[in-house]
Every structure is written in structure tokens, then in C-alpha cells.
Structure 1
């Protein structure tokens, strides 16, 4: 996909792929308002909730906004995911999957040991 298109135009194929993988609920920022939400609901049976930013100055924690940042931080803890040193993009993708699986399995092991 070219880099000179808007995020909202690139969201259609991404939402279509998400729907194929069984995802039914998505949080988005205010750029994805309007026709995209109704298209996703009627065409793909996806619920897209826009996380509204308060109109107050200063820092405010936005609901569900931290989930993506937290997940990227967990994956970046692994040395091979912190730098782009893989020869092929597919290799890096595999390392991201392995890092996520390692993180989830360690969390599951901690839950079952108590």
C-alpha cells in the first residue's frame, strides 16, 4: 500500500482482515469517525468505538489508548524485536510472534502458580 494515502482510506483493508480473523470490536482515535464506522458495522459486522479526547488542556488518560503502546513495549523488550536487524520482513514478523507468545505464556504461568 502506498504511503501517500490517508489512514482512513487504509483502514478498509485492515478492518476487512481483522473481521476475517474473528475480531469484532475495535477502538480508534477521532480520525476514524464518520462513514468508516457505519461501513464497518453494516459490511463487516465490526463495532468501531472512537475514543474521544477531552477538550481540557494537560495530560489526561484516555480509555483503551494505552493498550497498543503497552503491547509494543512488551514486544520491544526482546533483543531481536528492538532493532530492525532481520534480513527479511517475514523473519521480523516471526520474531514478533515469538516474543508475544513468550510474554503471554509467562503471564499465564504466573497466574496458575498462585
Structure 2
């Protein structure tokens, strides 16, 4: 995914990742692709209940918006290209609705 992101937006250089990606695998992989900085967003072990984590809410909010699209709710697509196309359509729908409300 990051290779395609780099080709589309070569100016991007920072990656936010979940605590599950804290090992050396992701760092090594990013080093092979190019110059990237990585920030692991971890939840505190002492946290009770909900705790707002920096930048993680952006990802969770986006997944919630995309979850409203029935086609994306389950893995129905047979190919990655088809899944990507439906993902782009869902984002286009979200952005056009935002523009219509604010414009």
C-alpha cells in the first residue's frame, strides 16, 4: 500500500501506525521503500474505558464512515482492483456530500 501511496503522493513521509506494528518489520520495510518516519500510537495500559489517542481517531472515524457503505461492510470483492474501485467511490460520495453541505 505504501508503495502506491508514494507513487501517488511523493511528498508524504510520515506514517501513523497502531501498536500492533511496533516491531522492526514495518520500519525495515519502510526503509526499503524510501525515507519515512513512523509514529506508533499506543494505548496506555493504565487506561480505563475510552481514551482519545492522538491521530487514531481520524482512522477510526474514516472506517466508521466507510462502514456505512453496505458494499464495503463485508469482503464481497473478488479482486483488489474491484475493492479499491468501490473504496474510491465511497470516498467520492463522502466528499461530494461534504462539499454540498458546506458549499
How many angstroms does 1:107 deviate by? 0.8
Say which SS state the counterpart of residue 15 (structure 2) adopts: strand
- TM-score computed with the length of structure 2 as normaliser: 0.68
The structure, 1 or 2, with the larger RCO (C-alpha pairs under 8 Å, 6+ apart) is 2
How many angstroms does 1:102 deviate by? 0.7
* Contact preservation (8 Å) 2:72, 2:86: yes
- TM-score computed with the length of structure 1 as normaliser: 0.63
Gaps of 5+ in 1: 1-13
Say which SS state the counterpart of residue 75 (structure 1) adopts: helix
Number of the residue aligned with 1:55: 45
How many angstroms does 1:41 deviate by? 6.0
Number of the residue aligned with 1:104: 95
RMSD: 2.8
Say which SS state the counterpart of residue 97 (structure 1) adopts: helix
How many angstroms does 1:55 deviate by? 3.3
Number of the residue aligned with 1:82: 73
**d(CA) in 2 for partners of 1:56 and 1:69?**
21
